[in-house]
């Protein structure tokens, strides 16, 4: 399996084709944007590449993007994210996790603020949460943990603009809950199967599109 990614459109199409697409190379060979991108685009410079295309890819594919794979970035298509969330969450939406008393307190600080809004820029979310030293210490870990559990996705990236209107600098992540980002259809789809059924569906799909990957590697891709 080999692809050449030269545009945001190429990446969006591959996300929808494979369902899951890590940003960085990992233990499964030929399964990342890094491996499929020409070096001159990967390393950037004057030419935009995958680093700057993250927002456009999310918009084009209407997909999830976040630290979903070993604490590192991965795109997941709209088709497969409900099963992914169902499995990673073990069937619990976040309100149910709080009601059952199994939500981590430091995670709940963050989720409580994010669930108040359709989305928040990372700096806005951090300002709302990190107003004590205790909360500052746990913020980054909670943000990654909640993405890994599929309670948070990246809705877009926003850039500063110079006086000519040209974007520059690193994009600022705008975070959302999948419920807010994908809407009511996501809520209906996410829990219509058991977590085990969602896992089996994803595993079968990935085995078909990644025949070179070992079962153990696919399991590590899907599990926390």
CA dist 71 and 52 (Å) reads 20
pTM across the whole model: 0.94
Q: How does DSSP classify residue 62?
A: T
**pLDDT (tens place) for every residue of the chain, 224 residues total:** 789 999 999 999 999 999 999 999 999 999 999 999 999 999 876 778 999 999 999 999 999 999 999 999 999 999 999 999 999 999 999 999 999 999 999 999 999 999 999 999 999 999 999 988 878 888 999 999 999 999 999 999 998 777 776 766 678 999 999 999 999 889 889 999 999 999 999 999 999 999 999 999 999 999 99
Helix axes 133-148, 105-114, angle to 10 degrees: 80
CA dist 169 and 95 (Å) reads 37
């Amino acid at each position: 399996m080999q692809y050449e990614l030269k545009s945001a459109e190429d990446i969006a199409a591959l996300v929808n084709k494979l369902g899951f697409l890590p940003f960085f190379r990992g233990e499964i060979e030929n399964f990342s944007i890094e491996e499929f991108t020409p070096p001159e685009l990967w390393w950037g410079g004057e030419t935009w590449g995958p680093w700057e295309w993250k927002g456009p890819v999310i918009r084009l594919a209407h997909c999830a993007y976040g630290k979903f794979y070993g604490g590192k970035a991965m795109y997941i298509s709209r088709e497969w994210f409900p099963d992914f969330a169902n499995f990673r969450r073990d069937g619990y939406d976040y309100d149910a996790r709080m009601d059952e008393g199994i939500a981590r307190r430091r995670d709940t600080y963050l989720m409580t603020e994010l669930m108040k809004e359709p989305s928040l820029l990372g700096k806005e979310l951090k300002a709302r949460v990190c107003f004590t030293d205790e909360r500052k210490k746990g913020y980054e870990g909670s943000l990654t943990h909640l993405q890994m559990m599929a309670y948070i996705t990246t809705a877009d990236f926003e850039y500063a603009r110079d006086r000519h209107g040209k974007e520059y600098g690193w994009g600022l992540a705008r975070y959302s809950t999948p419920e807010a980002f994908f809407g009511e259809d996501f809520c209906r789809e996410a829990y219509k199967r058991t977590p085990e059924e969602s896992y089996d569906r994803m595993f079968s799909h990935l085995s078909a599109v990644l025949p070179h990957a070992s079962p153990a590697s696919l399991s590590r891709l899907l599990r926390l």
